[in-house]
């Protein structure tokens, strides 16, 4: 949104968020390390650090993955999403400490390059139980690195939001790799059923939240409008749209947000220029459509961000017939001004 | 109308603030509970030790074959000698450090690695002082017969204390790296006399076993058939590649 | 066989990363403001934050530097 990049645009909410994340991480690590050295005096510090940082990163990744679907299901969780990128970067940094320690401990000071050793020390790639699990962790860490390294908005703009989003969807690949990494690694040598249960619970939670959110999304996409005449499709009754909010409609694979405000109706692309956030779940605040994810704003009539910002989204023609909203499904070039349809004049 | 959150405003609406506070409290419980659960459910750690940062002086007579060891006499005349296996720093065996000194009395500095199953010294390179020919006569190896033992192939350095756990699946890659670098390989088994013992693996000719035969079998259950020897307090299992069977 | 293939890939990875590091130093000092107008006058914090990403995506940014017009690349999707 800024017209000049800053390292991190700090604000009170971000500070509070980061403070909470840092406190949580420190609390986890201190509890684990203190309790482990108390219960297991023979354990080496390296082993405990590797386990502490690795498990913390994995748990945090589970949390990160739950935030998206949780917000789709209940908008009160949106504050978690606002600064999720810092949570992601924290996950990577914890994972990197784990990875660096492990690589040093298990593969350096030997007769081979550590990275070559990582992939060749255990060669039972054809076996499931003996599968080399460490390369899986390495690949997951590489994905988390690419995501963290591109978390600044500079990358969103320069890789384009679509490429950026695809890159960041790789988090699911990383998650899969890490589930395999833990299952084929630690869970093969530890005997406690609690660890298996914890793994199963977190996996089930992440999956069920995603299924629930996807089901909710599908209901929306299935409600494609039927009635059609002269390039316009009938969308909904004006009364169905709450004031200063939008009704979503799915057209040609993308969603359109139809906003009602001050006795007027305007339609915009649902896709925020920032991180493809859902504009239609936003509000009209100070006369501007405000994205629920990071607060990016657009004028409803033109789809253009207020000065000095330059983001623009597509607009759509609307008309009102007998208290119903009709929409021309052809997107106009981003930023095109369209006179809003006035309620009570049709 | 439900409340709407905008991150860059200085404070969030009340209902959202309450929800976030609740979440924060839940996260604290989750963090502490998760950490405690993991800490408490780890396997028992072996009582194995690496006196890292505390090197000491050792003197005794050197044995080079099949694996380098230092026989330390504890002073009392007639008392048996304690064998200390020798390794180099990192993931390397000590062969290069002690070569040509078979049967010599030496004094050396090194770091002690110890566990019930045995003792080992990580030698500081160039700390070895030659004290002359050893007067001790080596005893003959005792033949304890042919047997099939099941257990896990480990690299003795990590198993005896440099890493904890120094065995099992997570450690397997490191075991392969260490064994490849010449750390003496051994089978950990309690099949012989009920005590968990280390059986250093040697070939049928009594020399170090070919690495290709066991490198990829380290860190998982195996059964090995061979002749068991005892020599200077160390146990050996004389076998070959074909007689190492994977167990599941 | 595995050893050779892995050794080749790992060396390629090292070379790519080393080239990326060298490129990234130049890029965050000189290139970034030519590629993206919003980076003009941006501070050290921003330049350090994008550094690791430049190492990863250096061939892409090298091309953009050559074609530099300061505008972000156009995105294509169903609405644009």
Q: Among positive and negative, which fits the CA dihedral C48, A62, A60, A93?
A: negative
Condensed to tens digits (0 to 9), the pLDDT of residues A294-332 reads 889 999 999 999 988 888 999 999 999 888 999 998 899
Measured at the CA of A226, the angle between CA A223 and CA A232, to 5 degrees, comes to: 115
Alpha-carbon distance C57 to C38, whole Å? Answer: 19
- pLDDT higher at A156 or C16: C16
Residues B112 and B205 placed together within one structural domain of the fold: no
> What percent of chain A has a predicted confidence (pLDDT) above 70?
97
In this prediction, residue A146 carries a pLDDT of 97
Q: Which residues of C touch A (CB under 8 A)?
A: 2-3, 6-7, 10, 13, 32, 35-36, 38-46, 48-50, 52-53, 55-57, 60-61, 64, 72-80
Per-residue DSSP letters for B102-156? TTEEEEEEEEEEEETTEEEEEEPTT--EEEEE--PPPPPPEEEEEEEEEEEEEEH
In this prediction, residue B136 carries a pLDDT of 67
Alpha-carbon distance A183 to A64, whole Å? Answer: 20
Residue A248: count of CB within 10 angstroms of its CB? 18
Q: Which of A164-178, B11-25, B84-98, B221-235 has the least mean pLDDT?
A: B11-25
Task: Report the gap between the CA of B82 and the closest CA in chain A (Å).
Answer: 24
Q: Which of A28, A127, A280 would you mutate first to test chain B, the one with the most B CBs within 10 A?
A: A28
Task: Report the gap between the CA of C3 and the closest CA in chain A (Å).
Answer: 6
In this prediction, residue A225 carries a pLDDT of 65
Mean pLDDT along residues C51-68: 93
Residues 6+ apart with CB under 8 A from C78: A252, A253, A254, A331
Residue A209, CA distances (Å) to A62, A183, A216, A307 in order = 11, 21, 11, 39
The domain total for chain B is 2
In this prediction, residue B181 carries a pLDDT of 96
Neighbours of chain A (3+ CB pairs under 8 A): B, C
Mean pLDDT along residues A189-211: 95
Say if CB C58 and CB A150 are below 8 A apart. no
Of A6, A154, A253, nearest to C78 by CB-CB distance is A253
**Per-domain boundaries in chain A:** 12-220, 228-342
Residue A299: count of CB within 10 angstroms of its CB? 19
Condensed to tens digits (0 to 9), the pLDDT of residues C11-36 reads 999 999 999 999 999 999 999 999 99
Condensed to tens digits (0 to 9), the pLDDT of residues B33-54 reads 999 999 999 999 999 999 999 9
Residues B71 and B155 placed together within one structural domain of the fold: no
Q: Which of A137-141, A142-146, B137-141 has the least mean pLDDT?
A: B137-141
Q: What is the CATH number of domain A228-342?
A: 2.102.10.10
C-beta atoms of A149 and C7 within 8 A: no
Rg (CA), chain A: 25
On the CB side of B177, how many CA atoms lie within 13 Å of its CA?
Answer: 28
Of A23, A189, A245, nearest to B168 by CB-CB distance is A189
Tokens of A5: 């990049």
| Beta partners for residue B132, in sequence order | B105
User: Do the domain assignments include residue B218?
Assistant: yes
- Please give the distance of CA A333 from its chain centroid, rounded to a whole number: 27
- Nearest-Cα residue of chain B relative to residue A119: B173
Neighbours of chain C (3+ CB pairs under 8 A): A
pLDDT band at A74 (very low <50, low <70, confident <90, very high): confident
Say if CB B71 and CB B86 are below 8 A apart. no
pLDDT band at A1 (very low <50, low <70, confident <90, very high): very low
C-beta atoms of C57 and A150 within 8 A: yes
Q: What is the CATH number of domain A12-220?
A: 1.20.120
In this prediction, residue A226 carries a pLDDT of 64
Assess whether pLDDT exceeds 90 at residue A3: no
Alpha-carbon distance B151 to A326, whole Å? Answer: 76
Residue A200: count of CB within 10 angstroms of its CB? 11
In this prediction, residue A49 carries a pLDDT of 98
Alpha-carbon distance A219 to A211, whole Å? Answer: 12
pTM recorded for the entire structure: 0.91
Condensed to tens digits (0 to 9), the pLDDT of residues A246-258 reads 988 888 777 899 9
| Beta partners for residue C79, in sequence order | none
A90 touches chain B (CB under 8 A): no
In this prediction, residue A217 carries a pLDDT of 85
User: Do the domain assignments include residue B177?
Assistant: yes
C-beta atoms of A79 and B5 within 8 A: yes
Residue B73's CATH number: 2.40.50
Residues B91 and B151 placed together within one structural domain of the fold: no
Mean pLDDT along residues B61-72: 94
Mean pLDDT along residues B2-22: 82
Tokens of A136: 């899986």
pLDDT band at B173 (very low <50, low <70, confident <90, very high): very high
Assess whether pLDDT exceeds 60 at residue C77: no
Mean pLDDT along residues B5-11: 79
Alpha-carbon distance B186 to B206, whole Å? Answer: 14
Say if CB B224 and CB B148 are below 8 A apart. yes
Mean pLDDT along residues A4-15: 86
Q: Would A12-220 and A228-342 be classified into the same CATH topology?
A: no
Assess whether pLDDT exceeds 80 at residue B97: yes
Choose among B216, B184, B200, B187: nearest CA to B92: B184
Contacts of B220 in chain A (CB under 8 A): 130
Helix runs in B154-244, H state only? 156-157, 172-180
Residue C66 burial (C-beta neighbours within 10 Å; 0-12, 13-18, 19+): exposed
Choose among A91, A333, A44, A307: nearest CA to B161: A44
Indicate the average pLDDT of chain B.
92
User: Do the domain assignments include residue B20?
Assistant: no
Alpha-carbon distance A250 to A271, whole Å? Answer: 12
C-beta atoms of C55 and A149 within 8 A: yes
In this prediction, residue A129 carries a pLDDT of 84
Q: What is the number of residues in chain B?
A: 248
End-to-end, the C-alpha distance of chain C in Å comes to 48
pLDDT band at C80 (very low <50, low <70, confident <90, very high): very low
Alpha-carbon distance A114 to A134, whole Å? Answer: 12
Say if CB A212 and CB A69 are below 8 A apart. yes
Residues B55 and B89 placed together within one structural domain of the fold: yes
State the residue range of the domain holding B96: 49-133
Q: Which of B74, B108, B133 is the last residue of a domain?
A: B133
C-beta atoms of A4 and C10 within 8 A: no
| Cα dihedral: A226, A229, A233, A234 (round 10) | -70
- Nearest-Cα residue of chain A relative to residue B162: A44
Residues B193 and B150 placed together within one structural domain of the fold: yes
Residue A254: count of CB within 10 angstroms of its CB? 16
Rg (CA), chain C: 16
Give B 157-216 residues with CB within 8 A of chain A.
Answer: 163-165, 168-174, 176-178, 180-181, 216
Label residue A290 left, alpha or beta by phi (over 0 means left) and psi (-120 to 50 means alpha): beta
Alpha-carbon distance A276 to A293, whole Å? Answer: 9
């Amino acid at each position: 949104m800024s017209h000049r990049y800053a390292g991190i645009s700090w604000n009170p909410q971000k500070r509070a968020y980061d403070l909470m994340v840092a406190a949580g991480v420190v609390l986890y690590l201190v509890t684990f390390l203190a309790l482990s050295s108390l219960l297991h005096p023979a354990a080496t510090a390296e082993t405990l650090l590797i386990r502490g940082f690795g498990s913390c990163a994995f748990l945090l990744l589970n949390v990160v993955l739950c935030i998206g679907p949780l917000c789709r299901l209940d908008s009160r969780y949106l504050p978690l999403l606002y600064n999720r990128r810092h949570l992601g970067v924290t996950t990577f940094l914890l994972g990197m400490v784990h990875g660096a320690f492990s690589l040093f401990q298990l593969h350096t000071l030997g007769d081979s390059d550590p990275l070559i050793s990582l992939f060749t020390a255990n060669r039972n790639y054809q076996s499931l139980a003996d599968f080399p699990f460490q390369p899986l962790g390495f690949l997951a860490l590489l994905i988390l690195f690419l995501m963290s390294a591109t978390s600044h908005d500079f990358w969103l703009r320069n890789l384009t939001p679509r490429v950026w989003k695809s890159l960041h969807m790789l988090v699911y690949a990383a998650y899969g790799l890490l589930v395999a990494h833990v299952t084929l690694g630690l869970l093969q040598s530890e005997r406690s059923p609690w660890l298996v249960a914890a793994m199963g619970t977190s996996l089930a939670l992440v999956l069920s939240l995603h299924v629930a959110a996807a089901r909710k999304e599908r209901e929306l996409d299935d409600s494609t409008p039927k009635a059609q005449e002269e390039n316009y499709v009938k969308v909904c009754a004006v009364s169905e749209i709450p004031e200063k909010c939008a009704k979503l409609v799915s057209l040609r694979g993308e969603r359109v947000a139809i906003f009602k405000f001050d006795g007027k109706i305007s339609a915009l692309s649902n896709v925020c220029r920032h991180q493809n956030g859902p504009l239609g779940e936003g509000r009209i605040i100070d006369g501007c459509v405000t994205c629920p994810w990071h607060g990016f704003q657009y004028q409803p009539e033109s789809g253009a961000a207020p000065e000095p910002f330059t983001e623009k989204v597509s607009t759509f023609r609307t008309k009102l017939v007998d208290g119903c909203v009709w929409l021309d499904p052809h997107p106009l070039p981003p930023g095109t001004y369209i006179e809003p349809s006035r309620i009570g004049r049709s | 109308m439900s409340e709407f959150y905008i991150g860059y405003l200085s404070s969030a609406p009340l209902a959202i603030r309450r929800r976030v506070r609740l979440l924060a409290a839940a996260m604290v419980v989750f963090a502490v509970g998760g950490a405690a659960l993991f800490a408490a459910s780890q396997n028992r750690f072996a009582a194995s030790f690496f006196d890292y940062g505390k090197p000491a002086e050792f003197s005794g007579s050197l044995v080079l074959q099949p694996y380098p060891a230092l026989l330390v006499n504890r002073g009392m005349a007639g008392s048996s000698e304690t064998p200390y296996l020798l390794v180099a720093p990192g993931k390397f065996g000590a062969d290069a450090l002690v070569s040509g000194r078979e049967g010599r009395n030496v004094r050396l500095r090194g770091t002690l690695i110890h566990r019930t199953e045995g003792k080992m010294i990580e030698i500081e390179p160039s700390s070895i002082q030659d004290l002359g020919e050893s007067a001790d006569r080596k005893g003959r190896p005792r033949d304890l017969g042919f047997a099939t033992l099941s257990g896990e192939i480990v690299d003795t350095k990590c198993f005896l204390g440099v890493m904890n756990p120094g065995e099992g699946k997570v450690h397997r890659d490191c075991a392969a790296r260490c064994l490849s670098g010449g750390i003496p390989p051994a089978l950990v088994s309690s099949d012989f006399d009920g005590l968990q013992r280390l059986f250093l693996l040697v070939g049928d000719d009594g020399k170090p076993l070919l690495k290709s035969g066991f490198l990829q079998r380290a860190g998982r259950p195996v059964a090995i058939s061979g002749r068991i020897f005892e020599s200077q307090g160390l146990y050996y299992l004389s076998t070959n590649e074909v007689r190492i069977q994977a167990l599941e | 066989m595995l050893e050779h293939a892995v050794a080749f890939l790992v060396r390629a990875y090292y070379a790519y990363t080393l080239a990326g590091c060298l490129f990234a130093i130049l890029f965050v000092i000189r290139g970034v403001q030519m590629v993206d107008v919003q980076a003009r006058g941006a501070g050290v914090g921003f330049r350090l934050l994008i550094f690791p990403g430049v190492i990863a995506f250096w061939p892409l940014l090298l091309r953009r530097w050559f074609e530099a017009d300061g505008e972000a690349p156009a995105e294509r999707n169903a609405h644009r």
